[in-house]
Structure 1
């Protein structure tokens, strides 16, 4: 009986298998195939637009306009002086010579401005056309979104945005309590603007490390001078300071009066070591070559005096500014200026690598004044600067952003680790940073480029110092 049941089942299985082998299925696709080549073309076009439209190109034009803005009133002033004092004698000839030089510089500035404006106009027209073409291609690609995935994502984004606006309207964000300002005439440091000046100067891309700025206490007749120091040997040494009579001269790369030599060669006993240097009261302050000391070079007398730092001070690239990817060599000592004079920021073995701040007192010879000890680790800092007696420290966030995250108040001794002011960078690294109290500008030297930012302060009613 069991045998009779098994035989028909085997026959049925054999017949079914043969039928399956003879079955043919046809698949007809009703939808058009997705044009992956067009999507790749659109992605490449978008990437090309991003690489062409950089902030540097916009800021470069603004820098040139700013230079011209400062230059024209000076020319008008000099012409007015000539009209009053020209008596046809030698003094008139000298005044004419000064005006001739200024007009030459203005012409160079305008030539560069015209060239940059034309490049920007062509770039804008080309980018506008590319964006229009890209828009049309994306609209065509959206027709392949038959399941409306993209449209639903866009609708969800709009909905989330509306919900956020509604939530913020019902529960407005409480403004953080700002500490009152102290003796600073401008108030508390509130923010940093977008870059105001951006220039490669005379040597585009040639010297990665350096510093630049203005003398907060200039000698008579040198109020508009700007200085520049480039590490011309091994990204470590320099033996001269270069001057520019105006900001526009620096932007277009015309150095007058030129270089003032500290020594005829590099390295030597009085060589500048490291990029963190400042000019104050007609003297250059810098890290002495191969020493844990500050050198002061008098630009008029060419004399050099030194200020010894405490025993255990880290030097010769043993206490640098750093971020996760790299350290900036020979940045052991950072010189800074503010409304009250010159400061030096460093670290010692006794402080276990934390920042130490000392006032450099003027005099003959200069000497080290009061010293403060902080709790911020120097290797976690990329740069420092002083403003109104407050030490500020920055850290690396990304290639595009640096953050002012820390402050130390020398009056109250209070530290803050939550400053949260972001600096928009036009180059990945800031090798030197210095505040100028003359015009409340922050001068940065970034991978051979010179960039400056306006420092914004907020004056408050409470006159106490926090």
Structure 2
């Protein structure tokens, strides 16, 4: 009887999530009298559904949702405080101006009162700055926790009945969307200069923000890219795109209406490239509903307009197929878009592998201008453009990248720096800047990863020992 009860208890804890394949009852008597034992043997499935883990996930989801609500309330408080502080600063400015114009109308007591008010405002602003930094840290913590939970759910979906985890996934999706909206509001309040080039350079890159594994649910899809349209057409402002492969050949691309559908892996369009128009390499981008990418036959640039479904190609005289980035093959052409337009970078045999920056005329798909840099392409892991400035990145160690080189196409001067940032995984195949949100988008060993950027907003252009580079000849194949 004792053995039977033990079996029923064991079975009750597992039967809801797994079936009992074989079981048998074996009774035996040992010794004399009525003494004996009853033993039940149950051969349970090798794996059972981890209901305890799911309960923990659900409880954590509730906790994260509550924490996020508190941060949203704080954002509203920040907005009210900033408005109040701005009004106080404006009033102080008027008082100081009057004192400067009519110094004889005021005494030392009046001056001391103004000094006290200024110090009070300074203290309030410092307190607000500290609160903002604290909230940013909380956002990062929430992001890390949510990413870990979504990864766990992905694994559960692949291993167990999806219907059992679908409700929890929906809950986490909603939390991710709330966090995305909260970060967007935070960025709008404290970084209102998106679209402006009134800064000198990048001074900091955030920690990697990991969205999730790609839509194929496979880390084997190490080649590809993801991001947003850098110049979206109307009603496509929230659109995301993704294209990923297990080789460096580009065959198709997926589009998602918004962040939610990207997370849910629900594209509204899956476009296969036409025969003869497959691409290669990974540094392709979407701009104004057009795909810009590299082709090998003929070796050059390709453009696909998704509005007209029209393909175009362009050969650049002298561009070489011998030079690629240090950690990814076949990336001979790298497309970039910023606040000033569309660019492509490459190397030539005549420049001995030094990178060339070229501005693309989007209407004619021709090359308008070219600039020669002094940076050797095989020594670069990737590159991007911001406000007409070319930024080259190199690998420092297994976890770290560094922005080490800049070339300003306006002044035709180059400079060197050392802005470090972390990778989520070992290698990445695509890194691009998007001027619509001032973020870097990285495709990192199959994962969607992004970074916030900080710019030197107040200092003038940094005067450094610079080498002026001559603009080189336009492409004759325009």
Change (3 A) 1:242 1:271: same
- Give the equivalent residue in structure 1 for 2:163: none
1:80-125 CA distance string (max 9 Å, x none): xxxxxxxxxxxxxxxxxxxxxxxxx99844246789xxxxxxxxxx
- Give the equivalent residue in structure 2 for 1:301: 308
**Contact 1:270 1:289 survives alignment (8 Å):** no
1:61 aligns with 2:145: yes
1:259 aligns with 2:258: no
SS at match of 2:261: helix
Change (3 A) 1:370 1:309: same
Task: List aligned pairs for 1:168-179, cutoff 5 A.
Answer: none
Greater RCO, CA 8 A, separation 6+? 1
- Give the equivalent residue in structure 2 for 1:289: 296
| Structure 1 residue 63, shift from structure 2 partner | 5.6
**Contact 2:200 2:462 survives alignment (8 Å):** no
1:249 aligns with 2:261: yes
Change (3 A) 1:463 1:435: same
Number of residue pairs matched by the alignment: 291
- Give the equivalent residue in structure 2 for 1:382: 381
1:329-386 CA distance string (max 9 Å, x none): 11111111111221111000010011111011111x3111100001111110000011
SS at match of 2:260: helix
Structure 2: runs of 5 or more not aligned: 1-139, 151-165, 177-195, 465-478
Change (3 A) 1:229 1:357: same
SS at match of 1:250: helix
Q: 1:200 aligns with which of 182, 205, 213?
A: 213
| Structure 1 residue 295, shift from structure 2 partner | 0.7
Change (3 A) 1:61 1:221: farther
Taking the aligned partners of 2:167 and 2:314, their CA distance within structure 1 comes to: 42
- Give the equivalent residue in structure 1 for 2:437: 439
Structure 1: runs of 5 or more not aligned: 1-55, 67-104, 116-182
**Contact 1:238 1:273 survives alignment (8 Å):** yes
**Contact 1:64 1:109 survives alignment (8 Å):** no
1:200-229 CA distance string (max 9 Å, x none): 032231311001111121111110001111
Task: List aligned pairs for 1:25-424, cutoff 5 A.
Answer: 59-62=143-146, 108-111=169-172, 184-204=197-217, 205-231=219-245, 235-255=247-267, 257-263=268-274, 268-311=275-318, 313-315=319-321, 318-322=322-326, 327-363=327-363, 365-417=364-416, 419-424=417-422
| Structure 1 residue 254, shift from structure 2 partner | 2.5
Taking the aligned partners of 1:461 and 1:223, their CA distance within structure 2 comes to: 32
Q: 2:454 aligns with which of 453, 456, 461?
A: 456
- Give the equivalent residue in structure 2 for 1:129: none
Change (3 A) 1:377 1:461: closer
**Contact 2:199 2:459 survives alignment (8 Å):** no
Taking the aligned partners of 1:441 and 1:465, their CA distance within structure 2 comes to: 26
Normalising by structure 1, report the TM-score: 0.58
SS at match of 1:253: coil
Taking the aligned partners of 2:220 and 2:462, their CA distance within structure 1 comes to: 47
**Contact 1:344 1:360 survives alignment (8 Å):** yes
Change (3 A) 1:383 1:349: same
| Structure 1 residue 241, shift from structure 2 partner | 1.5
Q: Which has the larger radius of gyration?
A: 1
Superposition RMSD on alpha carbons, in Å? 2.9
Taking the aligned partners of 1:424 and 1:400, their CA distance within structure 2 comes to: 6
**Contact 2:210 2:447 survives alignment (8 Å):** no
| Structure 1 residue 187, shift from structure 2 partner | 4.5
Normalising by structure 2, report the TM-score: 0.56
Taking the aligned partners of 2:339 and 2:380, their CA distance within structure 1 comes to: 23
